[in-house]
């Protein structure tokens, strides 16, 4: 599994490198999604953002077809998914990025801002899951 993770990671890094060297931009999914949906007024050209965001499910679908299915196990509670989604949406806009923009692109650039953001959202994620375990939700 770690080897599969490493290879998948290389594909993600290649994608981010294409965005940087080809289009001069950060492959930040939260920002590009906000731009593609019109929630953000500034940022990447809209057509570019839409094309990138459409590519995400299409690329995942291609892997699913080729490998005979991708396993996913979601939280069963719709409320849990909705609360998580709200926090992720609001938080990534407020913090100007997510795992892709701050985590992959910013950290590899040794950006002080992105290293701080990644350390904080990882710490927050660890603490949240630990609290869920303590509360008996896991």
Partner 1 sequence: MKQAAVALIAGLLFGAGLAFSGMGDPARVQAFLDLFGHWDPTLAFVMGGAMIPMALAWLVQKRLARPFACESFDLPGTSLLDRQLVAGAVLFGAGWGIGGLCPGPAVADLAIAPASAGIFVAAMLAGMGLHRITTR
68 lies in the site for partner 1, by CB under 8 A: no
Contacts of 13 (CB under 8 A, 6+ apart): 104, 108
Nearest approach, Cβ of residue 50 and partner 1 (Å): 8
- The span from the CA of 43 to the CA of 41, in Å, is 7
Q: State the DSSP code for 69.
A: -
Other C-beta atoms within 10 Å of 31: how many?
23
How far is residue 63 from each of residues 14, 29, 56, 60, measured CA to CA in Å?
A: 16, 19, 11, 5
Site string for partner 1, 15-54 (x = CB under 8 A): xxxxxxxxxxxxx-xx--xx--x-xx---xx-xxxxxxxx
Q: How far is the CB of 79 from partner 1 (least distance, A)?
A: 9
Binding letters toward partner 1, positions 72-91, x by CB under 8 A: xxxx--x-xxxxxxxxxxxx
At its nearest, how many Å lie between partner 1 and the CB of residue 122?
7
Asked if residue 138 binds partner 1 (CB under 8 A), the reply is yes
- Cα–Cα distance measured from residue 115 to residue 109, given in angstroms and rounded to the nearest whole number: 9
Q: Does 136 bind partner 1 (CB under 8 A)?
A: no
Residue 94 lies near partner 1 (rule: CB under 8 A): yes
């Amino acid at each position: 599994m770690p080897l599969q993770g490493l290879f998948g990671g290389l594909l993600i890094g290649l994608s981010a490198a294409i965005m940087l060297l080809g289009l001069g931009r950060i492959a930040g999914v939260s920002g590009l999604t906000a731009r593609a949906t019109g929630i953000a007024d500034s940022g990447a050209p809209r057509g570019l953002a839409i094309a990138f965001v459409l590519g995400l499910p299409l690329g995942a679908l291609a892997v699913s077809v080729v490998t005979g299915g991708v396993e996913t196990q979601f939280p069963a509670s719709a409320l849990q998914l909705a609360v998580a989604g709200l926090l992720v949406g609001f938080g990534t806009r407020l913090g100007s990025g997510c795992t892709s923009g701050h985590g992959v692109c910013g950290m590899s650039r040794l950006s002080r801002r992105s290293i701080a953001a990644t350390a904080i959202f990882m710490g927050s994620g660890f603490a949240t899951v630990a609290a869920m375990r303590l509360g008996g939700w896991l």
